[in-house]
């Protein structure tokens, strides 16, 4: 029912013309569509607890929505809001977290800044340093790949505090804060660059002084959300390619009737279905992790398996789709090139598929070593 509702709304309100308009805009986001989603569908509140004005649902429901968003390349910052909601949910019963979650439920944009200029996802990639002062804290450094682009009014900034990590709340217009847009291959996937120069932060804006484990968990949750969009992107690439080869005639017959074309489409379908199976498995593990019913290792493993499969599926299906379209596949008139741009930009975010396979290999080696011991 949720899937049908999302698909119906996006079919009516988010065709490829909307995507092209967003690409030509300065923000890369369709503001009217975002406001309509917030007012009518309330998807921005999926992972916000009910006591904060949200729907209080889980990752399974979130990925159902995000998969369809990936199918339609919907140019709205929903995934960024879900990432921020997941970050805030690690802060238990903090009043500030409740306030910020309530803001997310209303559609406000809150960016999560955690990765330095040279992307290394996780604790080792943090590029902002926090120093204690008599008035609180001073933050300096840089973070990139902020999923809200330059649109957020507030930011959650991860910063190094000695050998640990802290989480700080900053206003985007605060003195010493410079938030700008980062060039990306997909203009509808805005990314931001944050530069901090001796930014003064009061003690109340320090949300956590021990956030290293939570950061790793939030990134794993984010990989699950990203995987949902990648599966949707792969499915749409397959659907559009099958539709095209079924109507394109060459040598007196549709090219879909040729065995080589059928093999390509079958390979695409296998990629999509394999990734989708891992997606919903990872979402179930993620929901268990949110309630402490699954370990951080289980979450990391499920997220890495999904990321390694979904990233490959999206890129393979979009790239193969261009080949099946022939020369017109790279022209602006056809939508398949839009999916290739989205697949390529998503592939690099939060760790490439080969990096995720290295994570899985390391986990397997660790398990083998512990069993041998």
Q: What pLDDT sits at residue 366?
A: 83
User: Measured between alpha carbons, how far is 178 from 194 in angstroms, rounded to an integer?
Assistant: 6
CATH of 111-208, one of 1.10.357.10, 1.20.81.30, 2.40.110.10, 3.40.50.620: 2.40.110.10
Q: What pLDDT sits at residue 144?
A: 95
The average pLDDT across 313-324 equals 98
Q: What pLDDT sits at residue 369?
A: 57
Q: Which residue has the higher pLDDT, 159 or 1?
A: 159
User: Measured between alpha carbons, how far is 168 from 158 in angstroms, rounded to an integer?
Assistant: 6
Which one-letter DSSP state was computed for residue 115?
B
User: What is the pLDDT confidence band of residue 282, given thresholds at 50, 70 and 90?
Assistant: very high
The average pLDDT across 149-160 equals 96
The average pLDDT across 217-245 equals 98
With beta carbons less than 8 A apart as the criterion, state whether 106 and 81 touch.
no
pLDDT at residue 343 above 60?
A: yes
Q: What pLDDT sits at residue 49?
A: 96
Which CATH code is given to the segment(s) 2-108? 1.10.540.10
The average pLDDT across 198-224 equals 97
Q: What pLDDT sits at residue 203?
A: 95
Of 152, 196, 145, residue with least CA distance to 27:
152
Q: What pLDDT sits at residue 227?
A: 98
Say what angle helices 336-348 and 296-325 make with each other, to 10 degrees: 150
| Percent share of the chain, pLDDT over 90 | 90
Q: What pLDDT sits at residue 367?
A: 76
How do residues 44-67 score in pLDDT, each as one tens digit?
A: 999 999 999 999 999 999 999 999
User: What is the pLDDT confidence band of residue 344, given thresholds at 50, 70 and 90?
Assistant: very high
pLDDT at residue 279 above 60?
A: yes
pLDDT at residue 136 above 60?
A: yes
pLDDT at residue 355 above 70?
A: yes
The average pLDDT across 34-52 equals 97
Q: What pLDDT sits at residue 368?
A: 65
Label residue 192 exposed, middle or buried (CB < 10 Å: 0-12, 13-18, 19+).
Answer: buried
Of 333, 10, 344, 306, residue with least CA distance to 189:
344
Strands (E), 37-127: 110-113
Residue 224 Cα distances to 190, 240, 293, 302, 347, angstroms: 19, 25, 17, 8, 13
User: What is the pLDDT confidence band of residue 370, given thresholds at 50, 70 and 90?
Assistant: low
Mean pLDDT, the chain, whole residue set: 95
Q: Which residue has the higher pLDDT, 369 or 339?
A: 339
User: What is the pLDDT confidence band of residue 324, given thresholds at 50, 70 and 90?
Assistant: very high
Q: What pLDDT sits at residue 50?
A: 97
CATH-assigned architecture of domain 212-372: Up-down Bundle (1.20)
What pTM was computed for the model?
0.95
Q: What pLDDT sits at residue 240?
A: 98
User: What is the pLDDT confidence band of residue 353, given thresholds at 50, 70 and 90?
Assistant: very high
Ordered by start, the domain boundaries in the chain are: 2-108, 111-208, 212-372
The average pLDDT across 343-352 equals 92
Report the SS3 class of residue 129: strand
The average pLDDT across 114-140 equals 90
Strands (E), the chain: 110-113, 128-133, 136-146, 154-161, 164-171, 177-182, 191-201, 206-208, 249-250, 253-254
User: What is the pLDDT confidence band of residue 350, given thresholds at 50, 70 and 90?
Assistant: very high
pLDDT at residue 174 above 70?
A: yes
User: What is the pLDDT confidence band of residue 118, given thresholds at 50, 70 and 90?
Assistant: low
């Amino acid at each position: 029912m949720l899937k049908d509702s999302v698909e119906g709304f996006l079919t009516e309100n988010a065709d490829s013309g909307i995507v092209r308009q967003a690409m030509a805009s300065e923000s890369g986001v369709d503001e009217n569509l975002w406001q309509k989603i917030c007012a009518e569908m309330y998807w921005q509140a999926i992972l916000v607890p009910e006591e904060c004005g949200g729907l209080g649902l889980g990752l399974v429901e979130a990925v159902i929505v995000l998969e369809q968003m990936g199918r339609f390349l919907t140019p709205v910052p929903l995934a960024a809001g879900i990432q921020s909601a997941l970050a805030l949910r690690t802060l238990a019963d903090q009043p500030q977290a409740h306030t910020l979650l309530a803001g997310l439920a209303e559609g406000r944009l809150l960016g999560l800044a955690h990765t330095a200029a040279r992307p290394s996802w996780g604790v080792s990639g943090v590029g902002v340093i926090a120093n204690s002062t008599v008035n609180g804290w001073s933050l300096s450094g840089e973070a990139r790949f902020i999923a809200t682009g330059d649109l957020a009014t507030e930011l959650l900034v991860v910063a190094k505090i000695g050998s640990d990590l802290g989480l700080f709340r900053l206003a985007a217009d605060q003195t010493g804060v410079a938030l700008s847009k980062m060039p990306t291959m997909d203009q509808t996937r805005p990314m931001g660059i944050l530069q901090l120069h001796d930014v003064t932060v009061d003690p109340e804006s320090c949300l956590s002084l021990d956030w290293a484990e939570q950061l790793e968990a939030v990134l794993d949750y984010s990989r699950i959300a990203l995987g949902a969009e990648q599966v949707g992107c792969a499915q749409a690439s397959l659907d559009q390619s099958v539709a095209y080869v079924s109507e394109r005639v060459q040598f007196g017959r549709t090219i879909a009737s040729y065995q080589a074309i059928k093999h390509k489409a079958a390979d695409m379908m296998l990629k999509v279905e394999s990734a989708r199976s891992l997606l919903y498995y990872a979402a179930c593990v993620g929901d268990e992790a949110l309630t402490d019913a699954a370990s951080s290792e289980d979450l990391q493993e499920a997220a890495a398996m999904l990321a390694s499969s979904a990233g490959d599926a999206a890129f393979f299906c979009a790239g193969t789709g261009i080949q099946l379209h022939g020369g017109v596949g790279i022209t602006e008139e056809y939508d398949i090139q839009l999916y290739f741009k989205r697949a390529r930009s998503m592939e690099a975010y939060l760790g490439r598929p080969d990096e995720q396979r290295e994570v899985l290999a390391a986990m397997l080696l660790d398990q083998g070593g512990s069993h041998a011991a």
